[in-house]
């Protein structure tokens, strides 16, 4: 079995009396989509925040490509290849879509303290950004301000932003939220096509999408992983049906 | 996938990018600069040096505001302490002239100089270092705390200048003979105006170039959404700090020129009124717009000159204008004259 791209080891996080992450260990392997499901308030977003570096875990380790990144900043983790999308889109609204993507290309190239050469028409930034946008079906919207994009387009744009960084692992927090069946199906297809390019840790409520995409599923309830396995295992797990699938 | 990609993705023929034209905005900007250059020349020819000096003052205030605009407008860092750099630049010019005149040395070590080619780099360096110090601390905070900390630092500099008797303390320091630029007569009002004008144009050109660069893209993102910037892999803090330092250096150079224009530097250049005045000018003109500081300075100086002659309460009208801009014309005078920026 290939070595995990991303590994969490015994993560703990408390908010006062609330345990948001309770001894979570999981891995993301090359070429896989690993889905993380669970009811609202289970601690899924909190977990993503700890992996991405915007929250510090109280205990535990996070490894990317075998190297510990637990103490690194958000930006340092991103430079090492951690791409992320947010549950609530976080984009620069007045800027054209492509400028949101170009900043990731620029960060990847490591050239942000260049003060003179025009960047907005630099093909070394524009071309990879356009490629990432095209990957998500957004090339025709490249120069449209984010504020004018539809909700679905924004969700896809966030993924394009992450893709432009040439990530080693993607963390997607409910990318299909609010998309409707058609949009969900479309995004599912796009994510399917990314699988071999970059492994994805996917948080999603859309069960159809999850069962279709994920090789492995972990179920988080009250901060704890209560079940783990492939789609069939999860579907049959009585504890999961009880706590989450509600059947 | 290829059907999504617009045709012609080759470099030099970039897709779907709206072409650039001079347009209304470009025309307004060009006219503004042309008037700023032509009117003082005309005033000089017609024998009105007072207006030439007034134009120099306007130009330097605009240049100081161009510096502030880089931090406040483009970087979203609401500095309420830019008078510190304006005044420090002024004091460098004043102290250099003082020691050159006396043939003594600054702190017993550095001889004075009245050569602007020496004084300007020193002024910019000093302001850059001060801003590095102040910025390094202040930029750990944001919002109201940032405003208050920048103000507090500037007040420290103000009281320090007030209580340093060698350089005049609260009485200030005269510059008896305007500092020199080899080959030019800086005493001549028009020559000095042209130096100021060149300074303003350079500061604006630098800002424009900077904001179009990769660094500018990062700074813009730091202002609009620093989570996005960090998530992309760029740490916002050093980007902000560097722009804060450059901003202070521009304002400091304007301050050095301003002291030479007035033949005088005093703690009033360091006071919070000065910081506020620069902020008002940036906001009046249009926050984060290249020509905003110039437009704001024109409006400010016009009101001060025209209304100030009629009533000592002219600042009441300034306040009302500011209120109007903040409430009804969020993009300032430039937004009103030239329309919205395309984006950013
Ligand atoms: N910064 C915070 N401070 C305090 N409590 C928090 C914070 N962030 C999340 N929580 C709480 O932690 C729990 C898990 O939240 P979250 O990770 O957003 O859940 P999910 O994404 O699974 O819906 C919730 O009860 C939430 O209220
Ligand atoms: Mg969540």
The reported pLDDT for the residue numbered B17 is 55
Residue A142 near chain B (CB below 8 Å): yes
Contacts of A86 (CB under 8 A, 6+ apart): A158, A173, B227
Name the closest ligand to CA A174.
Answer: 2
**What is the distance between the alpha carbons of residues B131 and B77, in angstroms, rounded to a whole number?**
13
Q: State whether A120 and B217 contact (CB < 8 Å).
A: yes
pLDDT for residue A15? 95
For residue A22, is pLDDT > 90? yes
Query: Looking at CA atoms only, how far is residue B152 from chain A in angstroms?
Result: 29
- What is the A88 CA–ligand 2 centroid distance (Å)? 9
Distance from CA of A191 to the nearest CA of B (A): 14
For the cut 60, the answer to whether the pLDDT of residue B340 exceeds it is: yes
Which of B4, B17, B220 is the closest to A140 by Cβ?
B4
Whose C-alpha lies nearest to ligand 1, atom 17?
A: A43
Q: Quote the ligand 1 centre to A32 CA distance (angstroms).
A: 27
Residue B156: pLDDT over 70: yes
Computed from CA positions of residues B264, B266, B270, B271, in that sequence, does the dihedral angle turn out positive or negative? Answer: negative
Top CATH class of A1-81+169-247 equals: alpha beta
Rounded average pLDDT over A85-112: 93
User: Once rounded to an integer, what is the mean pLDDT over residues B243-256?
Assistant: 98
pLDDT bin (cut points 50, 70, 90) of residue B18 is low
Closest listed residue to residue A59, CA positions, set A8, A16, A6, A5: A8
Hey, what's the torsion of the CAs at B258, B264, B266, B271, to 10 degrees? -30
Residue B132 CB-density burial (10 A; 0-12 exposed, 13-18 middle, 19+ buried): middle
Cα A178 to ligand 2 centre (Å): 13
- The number of CA neighbours under 13 Å toward the Cβ of B13 is 5
Q: Among the listed ranges A92-96, B29-33, B278-282, B306-310, which one has the minimum average pLDDT value?
A: B306-310
A205, pLDDT greater than 90: no
Q: Does B22 score more than 80 pLDDT?
A: no
In this structure, of A10-14, A81-85, A185-189, B191-195, the range with the lowest mean pLDDT score is A185-189
The mean-pLDDT minimum among A8-17, A117-126, B327-336 falls in B327-336
How sure is the predictor about B6, in pLDDT bands with cuts at 50, 70 and 90?
Answer: very low
The reported pLDDT for the residue numbered A46 is 96
Question: With contact defined as beta carbons under 8 Å apart, do B228 and A85 qualify?
Answer: no
Q: Is a pLDDT exceeding 60 seen at residue B106?
A: yes
**Ligand 1 neighbour A20 (Cβ under 6 A):** yes
Average pLDDT of span B88-92: 97
CB contact under 8 A, A79 and B4: no
Mean predicted lDDT score pLDDT of chain B: 90
Q: What percent of chain B has pLDDT over 90?
A: 71
Considering every ligand atom shown, identify the ligand nearest to the alpha carbon of residue A46 and give its number: 1
Ligand nearest to the CA of A47: 1
A115 has pLDDT over 80: yes
- Separation CA B285–CA B280 (nearest Å): 8
CA angle B244, B199, B307 (to 5 degrees): 90
Question: Is pLDDT at A57 greater than 90 in this prediction?
Answer: yes
Q: What pLDDT is attached to residue B12? A: 41
Q: Residue B195: which of B292, B296, B93, B293 has the closest Cα?
A: B93
A142 contacts B15? CB cut-off 8 A: yes
First-to-last alpha carbon distance for chain B, in angstroms, is: 29
Q: How confident is the model at residue B5 (pLDDT cuts 50, 70, 90)?
A: very low
Q: How far is the CA of B76 from the centre of ligand 2 (A)?
A: 29
Q: B309-342: buried (b, 16+ CB within 10 Å) or exposed (e) per residue?
A: eeeeebbeebeebbeebeeeeebbbbbebbeebe
Query: What is the least distance, in Å, from the CA of B204 to any CA of chain A?
Result: 14
Overall average pLDDT of the A70-81 stretch: 95
| DSSP one-letter code for A95 | S
| Residue A244 binned pLDDT confidence (cut-offs 50, 70, 90) | low
What pTM does this model have? Answer: 0.92
CB contact under 8 A, A115 and B14: no
* Percentage of residues of chain A with pLDDT beyond 70: 97
Q: Does B19 touch chain A (CB under 8 A)?
A: no
pLDDT band at B9 (very low <50, low <70, confident <90, very high): very low
pLDDT value, residue A139: 94
CB contact under 8 A, B217 and A106: yes
B11, B212, B344 ranked by CB distance to A118: nearest: B212
- Compute the distance between CA of residue A231 and CA of residue A210 in angstroms, rounded to an integer: 8
Is the pLDDT at B81 greater than 70, yes or no?
yes
Determine the 3-state secondary structure of B119 from DSSP.
Answer: helix
Question: What pLDDT score does B13 carry?
Answer: 41
| pLDDT for position B324 | 86
| Inter-helix orientation angle B189-212/B214-224, to 10° | 80
Confidence of residue A163 (pLDDT cuts 50, 70, 90): very high
Rounded Cα gap, residues B190 and B44, in angstroms: 7
> A184 in ligand 1 pocket by Cβ < 6 Å?
no
**A44 contact B CB<8A:** no
Classify burial at B13, counting beta carbons within 10 Å of its beta carbon; exposed 0-12, middle 13-18, buried 19 or more. exposed
Q: How confident is the model at residue B15 (pLDDT cuts 50, 70, 90)?
A: very low
Mean pLDDT computed over every residue of chain A: 92
Domain ranges in chain A are 1-81+169-247, 89-166
CA distance A242 to B43: 87
What CA–CA distance (Å, rounded) separates A81 from A165?
A: 7
Query: In which band, very low, low, confident or very high, does the pLDDT at B211 lie, cut at 50, 70 and 90?
Result: very high
Please report the atom of ligand 1 found closest to the CA of residue A38.
22
For B235-330, strand residue ranges (E) read 264-265
pLDDT at residue A47, as a whole number: 96
Three-class SS of residue B245?
helix
Higher pLDDT, B3 or B250: B250
According to the model, what pLDDT value does residue B102 have?
82
**Among B321, B296, B327, residue whose Cα is nearest residue B307:** B321
Inter-chain contact A113–B16, Cβ cutoff 8 Å? Answer: no
Q: Decide if B167 touches A, using CB distance below 8 A.
A: no
| Confidence (pLDDT) at A23 | 95
Contact B257, B295 (CB under 8 A): no
| Mean pLDDT computed over A154-177 | 94
């Amino acid at each position: 079995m290939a070595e995990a791209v991303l590994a969490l080891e015994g993560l703990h996080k408390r908010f006062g009396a609330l345990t948001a992450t309770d001894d979570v260990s999981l891995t993301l392997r090359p070429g896989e989509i690993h889905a993380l499901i669970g009811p609202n308030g289970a601690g899924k977003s909190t977990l993503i925040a700890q992996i991405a570096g915007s929250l510090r875990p109280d205990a535990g380790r996070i490894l990317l490509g075998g190297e510990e990144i637990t103490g690194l900043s958000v930006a340092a983790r991103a430079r090492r290849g951690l791409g992320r999308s947010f549950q609530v889109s976080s984009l620069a609204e007045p800027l054209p879509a492509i400028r949101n993507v170009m900043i990731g290309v620029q960060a990847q190239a490591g050239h942000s303290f260049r003060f003179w050469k025009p960047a907005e028409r630099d093909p070394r930034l524009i071309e990879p950004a356009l490629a990432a946008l095209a990957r998500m079906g957004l090339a025709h919207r490249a120069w449209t301000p984010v504020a004018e994009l539809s909700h679905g387009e924004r969700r896809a744009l966030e993924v394009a932003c992450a893709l432009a960084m040439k990530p080693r692992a993607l963390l997607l927090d409910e990318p299909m939220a609010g998309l409707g069946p058609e949009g969900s199906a479309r995004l599912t297809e796009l994510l399917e096509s990314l699988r071999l390019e970059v492994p994805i840790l996917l948080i999603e409520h859309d069960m159809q999408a999850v069962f279709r995409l994920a090789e492995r599923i972990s179920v988080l309830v009250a901060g704890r992983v209560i079940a783990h396995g492939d789609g069939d295992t999860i579907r049959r797990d009585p504890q999961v049906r009880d706590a989450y699938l509600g059947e | 996938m290829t059907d999504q990609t617009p045709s012609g993705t080759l470099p030099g023929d970039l897709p779907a990018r709206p072409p650039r034209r001079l347009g209304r905005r470009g025309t307004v900007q060009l006219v503004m600069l042309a008037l700023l250059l032509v009117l003082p020349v005309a005033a000089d020819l017609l024998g009105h040096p007072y207006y030439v000096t007034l134009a120099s003052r306007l130009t330097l205030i605009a240049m100081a505001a161009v510096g502030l605009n880089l931090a406040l407008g483009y970087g979203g860092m609401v500095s309420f302490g830019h008078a510190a750099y304006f005044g420090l630049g002024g004091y460098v010019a004043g102290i250099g002239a003082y020691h050159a005149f006396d043939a003594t040395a600054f702190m017993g070590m550095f001889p004075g100089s009245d050569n602007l080619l020496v004084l300007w780099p020193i002024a910019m360096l000093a302001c850059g270092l001060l801003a590095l110090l102040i910025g390094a601390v202040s930029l750990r905070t944001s919002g109201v705390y940032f405003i208050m900390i920048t103000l507090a630092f500037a007040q420290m500099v103000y009281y320090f200048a007030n209580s340093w008797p060698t350089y005049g303390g609260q009485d200030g320091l005269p510059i008896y003979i305007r500092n020199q630029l080899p080959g030019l007569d800086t005493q001549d009002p028009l020559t000095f105006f042209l130096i100021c004008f060149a300074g303003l144009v350079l500061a604006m050109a630098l800002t424009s170039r900077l904001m179009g660069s990769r660094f500018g893209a990062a700074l813009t993102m730091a202002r609009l959404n620093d989570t996005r910037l960090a998530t992309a892999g760029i740490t916002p803090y050093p980007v902000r700090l560097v722009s804060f330092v450059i901003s202070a250096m521009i304002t400091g150079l304007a301050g050095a020129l301003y002291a030479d224009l007035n033949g005088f530097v005093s703690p009033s250049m360091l006071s919070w009124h000065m910081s506020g005045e620069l902020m008002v000018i940036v906001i009046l003109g249009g926050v984060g717009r290249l020509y905003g500081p110039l437009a704001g300075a024109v409006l400010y100086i016009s009101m001060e000159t025209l209304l100030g002659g009629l009533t000592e309460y002219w600042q009441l009208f300034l306040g009302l204008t500011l209120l109007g801009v903040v409430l009804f014309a969020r993009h300032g005078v430039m937004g009103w004259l030239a329309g919205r920026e395309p984006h950013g």
